[in-house]
Structure 1
Amino acid sequence: MTDLSGKTALITGSARGIGRAIALRYASRGANVVVNYAGNKDAAMATAADVERLGGRAITVQANVAVVADIHRLFNEAAARFGEIDIAVANAGVELIGIDFVDITEEQFDRLFTINTKGTFFTLQTAARRVADNGRILYVGSTTTAVPVAREGLYGSSKIAPRYAVEVLAQELADRGVTVNTILPTAIEGAGVFTEFDPDHPVRQFVSRPGRIGRRMGTVEDVADAAEYFASDLAAWVSGQTLLVTGGSFQ
């Protein structure tokens, strides 16, 4: 079992969904957790309470990753409470799918690129400056950056730039022993646009096709498994890599 005792993990967008699952997984392995949220304080407090129930220590920090000053404050508050930051997970983002490329508006473009691209870029940059030597940096992206999907052009485009940044940072931080990796989840039940949706949603037919283990959607626990691996000693010499969490499918 992974031992994260004494380590501190900062996870953006960790009040719910994938971020929450990673926060709870790290807490169950002994880590202190910085729970970040943009607006849902109640959900963040509930996550922090669950972290402490699992034996970890937690703080909640409201910060909007679209605002660079908020990102800096997030890391400052984490360091003030726990000292060194050992693990940083750039998870916060927004989804907007089901829109033809020709119908994308400037307002939609600005929103997704401000949060998913700019916000993640500067989260990674701040993590590169602040994470302790031999630490871990993770980016939670999307399989739409690996396999183009019709009507998801805006979302996939906004998520692809940080993948490049991860591979650059992996090289630039190698001498410090800091690993930088990407996780690309498929459609995940209980996360993003799939937090609450009709059981007859077309995505269920999509994921039930042959070629996917269990012919099911992914779960937040599937993603937390990958995040645990990358945070562990087993991945100390794995950096600049991209791991698809798809059950064997390419999407």
Structure 2
Amino acid sequence: MTDLTGKVAVVTGSARGIGKAVALRYASLGARVVVNYFGDDQVAGSTVAECRAAGGEAIAVKADVSKVEDIERLYRSTREQFGRIDIVVANAGFEIVDQPVLEATEEQFDRIFAVNTKGAFFTLQKGAKYVADGGRLILIGSSSTASPVPGTGLYSSSKMAARQLVRVLAAEMIERSVTVNTILPAPTDGAGVFTDLAQDAPEHEFFARIRFGQRLGRPDDVADAAEYFAGDLASYVSGQSLLLSGGAIV
């Protein structure tokens, strides 16, 4: 079992969905967790309470990852509260799907790239600066960067830049023994555009035909991978992308 006792983990966009699952998992393994969020204070507070109930210390820090000054404040607040940073999970982002490239607008482009590209870049860049030697940097990417999917031109291209950044940053962090890796979740029930997916939605039937367990992915599947990358078993793994698709070809 992974032991994160004494480790400090910053998880962006972790009030709900995949980020919440990762934060809860780390807390259950003994980590002190910083729940970053941008929206609802009450939802973030509830996640903090769940992290504490799971066995870890936790605080919430409101910060917009599309603003570098907010990212700096997020890390500053973490160090002021806990004294160090050991794990950073760059998860914050949002999706625009079923959007043909020919219909994409400049406003949509600016919005999604501000969070998914700029936000991820500076979360990882500043995280690399402040993380302790031997630490972990983890990007939550998207399976849509693994193969072209119609309707995801804006989304997948906004995610691809950070995926390449992980490979470069991994090489640059070797001397400090900091690993840098990416998790590529396929469509996940309870996250992103599938956050409120009804149990009788046709997506369930479709994915049941092509996935292990005949189901959509779940946030805990991503938390499993995030646990691995954060733990000792992954200490010699860096610059890698782990596709979580349940065996589906994407």
Give me the TM-score of the superposition, normalised by structure 2: 0.98
Q: Which amino acid aligns with 1:245?
A: L
Give the whole-Å Cα distance in 2 for the aligned partners of 1:242 and 1:220: 17
Give the whole-Å Cα distance in 2 for the aligned partners of 1:181 and 1:226: 10
Q: Which amino acid aligns with 2:12?
A: T
* Match of residue 117 from structure 1: 117
Give the whole-Å Cα distance in 1 for the aligned partners of 2:62 and 2:75: 11
For the aligned residue pairs, the C-alpha RMSD in angstroms reads: 1.0
Matched, 1:248 2:247: yes
* Partner SS for 1:229: helix
* Contact 1:147/1:250 (8 A) holds in 2: no
Structure-to-structure mapping, 1:63-82, within 5 angstroms? 63-82=63-82
Which of the pair is proportionally richer in strand?
1
Task: Give the stretch that moved more between structures: 145-154 or 198-207.
Answer: 198-207
* Match of residue 4 from structure 1: 4
Give the whole-Å Cα distance in 2 for the aligned partners of 1:4 and 1:94: 28
Shift in Å, 1:200: 4.5
Cα displacement string for residues 170-220 of structure 1 (whole angstroms, at most 9, x for unaligned residues): 00001100000000001111111111024444433431224x211210000
Give the whole-Å Cα distance in 2 for the aligned partners of 1:113 and 1:92: 12
* Partner SS for 2:180: strand
* Partner SS for 1:85: coil
Give me the TM-score of the superposition, normalised by structure 1: 0.97
Structure-to-structure mapping, 1:15-164, within 5 angstroms? 15-164=15-164
Give the number of aligned pairs: 250
* Match of residue 237 from structure 1: 236
* Contact 2:190/2:197 (8 A) holds in 1: no
Q: Which amino acid aligns with 1:110?
A: D
Give the whole-Å Cα distance in 1 for the aligned partners of 2:177 and 2:203: 40
Shift in Å, 1:59: 0.8
Give the whole-Å Cα distance in 1 for the aligned partners of 2:97 and 2:9: 30
Give the whole-Å Cα distance in 1 for the aligned partners of 2:197 and 2:6: 38
Unaligned runs of 5+ in 2: none
Give the whole-Å Cα distance in 2 for the aligned partners of 1:179 and 1:27: 20
Q: Which amino acid aligns with 2:212?
A: I
* Partner SS for 2:156: helix
Give the whole-Å Cα distance in 2 for the aligned partners of 1:204 and 1:249: 14
* Contact 1:15/1:36 (8 A) holds in 2: yes
